[in-house]
A and B are shown apart, each in its own frame.
Chain A
Amino acid sequence: QVQLVQSGAEVKKPGASVKVSCKASGYTFTSYDFNWVRQATGQGLEWMGWMNPNSGQAGYAPKFQGRVTLTRDTSIRTAYMELTSLTSEDTAVYFCARNIRDTGNFDFWGQGTLVTVS
């Protein structure tokens, strides 16, 4: 069965960076794109960017451009989201989600990773 399993919670100081992983199983890793979406406590969903794990090509939301980097390691079927220059405003749960390329069918999601900046 399809699973996306994310790394554990992180606590970071302001100004630091965080790297969250998303390990995929149960399907062909390179056949679906990855998206990263975050959600502050009690708030809505905020899309951060997408990545094609086959080519490594990525696209970012304007708000995060220059501060977020999406990468992958195909040998271990894992996608990564790195966010730099953290502030308290970045405290949120970060989700990875796969989607059928060129669609918004985010059909499987990771469990979420809480990043606390304090």
Chain B
Amino acid sequence: QAVLTQPSSLSASPGASASLTCTLRSGVNVDTYRLYWFQQRPGSPPQYLLRYKSDSDWQQGSGVPSRFSGSKVTSANAGILLISGLQSEDEADYYCMIWHNSAWVFGGGTKLTVL
């Protein structure tokens, strides 16, 4: 089982909110990790969005709109990337990442479609 699991796709309407999940494998406790989120548009390198561990330990990437925010659902052992006020330019792949066992580990990515 992968360390980080993301749904392969998600669709949402312009102006709505999208909640992208990153579920940690059982035994890998989300509360002990900083989760990092990246956006990748087709044909471009990934772009750092933000990191989130708790409401007192988080950081927005430089120039990243406040429409992008992070949170956690401890009961689901998952991290969340919330995108509010969806715009067409938000259509992209989104990846989560953690530092686990002395290595950076990426989730498989979620393709967000805005339609």
Contact = CB atoms under 8 A, between A and B. Distances in A.
Contacts of B95: 44-45
A107 B62 contact: yes
Contacts of B105: 47
Contacts of B62: 107
Given A44-B95, A103-B51, A110 B106 contact: no
B104 A104 contact: yes
Contacts of B99: 104
A50 B105 CA distance: 12
A34 B107 CA distance: 20
Interface string B37-54: 010100001111001000
Interface of B is mostly: strand
A50 B103 CA distance: 9
A47 B47 CA distance: 15
B108 A44 contact: yes
Contact of A35 (B59, B104, B107, B108): B104
